[in-house]
Amino acid sequence: GHTFKAGECETCHGEKVKESFVQTGTEVLHKQLAALIAKRILASKEKIACVTSWDEKTDKDTPNTPIDGKQIKAVEIPMGIHGQISLKFVMQDGKAVYSQMGNIKDACGEQGKPVFATSDPVVRALHNYLLFWYDGSKGVHNPRFTRNVLIATINEMSK
C-alpha cells in the first residue's frame, strides 16, 4: 500500500538535489523576506496608534489598546493569532504587543482605520511568508514554486 512517505529526491531530480540543499536556500530567502517585511512595517510605525492587543498567556483580546507607534523597536512575525496574519511589536521598554493585522489602526474607537489595508503589498508579503512557514517543508514540497514566490515577494518588498 501507499505509505505517504516521500521518496528520495535523487530518483527524479538527480544526485545533487538533496532535501537540505532546498531547505537551506528557502530558509535564506525566508529570512530575507522577514527582514524586508519588518523594515516596511517599521517605516510606517508612526501611523500606528491603536491595536486590539492579544495576550498569549490568556488567549484574550483587548480592543482599543492605545500604542505609541514611535516606541516600536522591532517587529516579529508570529504564526498568527486565531488563523489571522498578525504581528508582534517589541517596544522600547521590552514589552511585547501582539495584534492581528486588521486590528492595527491609526486611531482608537470607531474612527480608527487599519494602517495596512488588505491590498497593501506588506500584507500580501506576509501571506506569502506564512504560506511557506505553515507548509513546514522549507520548500521541499515544490522547490521551484517556493523559490519563485519568495523571490518575487522579496523583489516587491525591495521597491
Helix (H) or strand (E) holding 126: helix 121-135
Looking at residue 56, what is its pLDDT? Answer: 93
Give the per-residue pLDDT at 4.
47
Which pLDDT score is estimated for 139? 80
Contact 26, 135 (CB under 8 A): no
Residue 47 and residue 91 in contact, taking contact as beta carbons nearer than 8 Å: no
Q: Which three cell numbers stand for residue 151?
A: 523571490
CA distances from 49 to 39, 44, 143 (A): 18, 11, 40
pLDDT at 16: 64
User: Can you list the residues of the chain whose pLDDT is less than 70?
Assistant: 1-19, 21
- Residue 47 to residue 43: CA distance in whole angstroms: 9
The pLDDT, as a whole number, for residue 81 is 94
Amino acid identity at 6: A
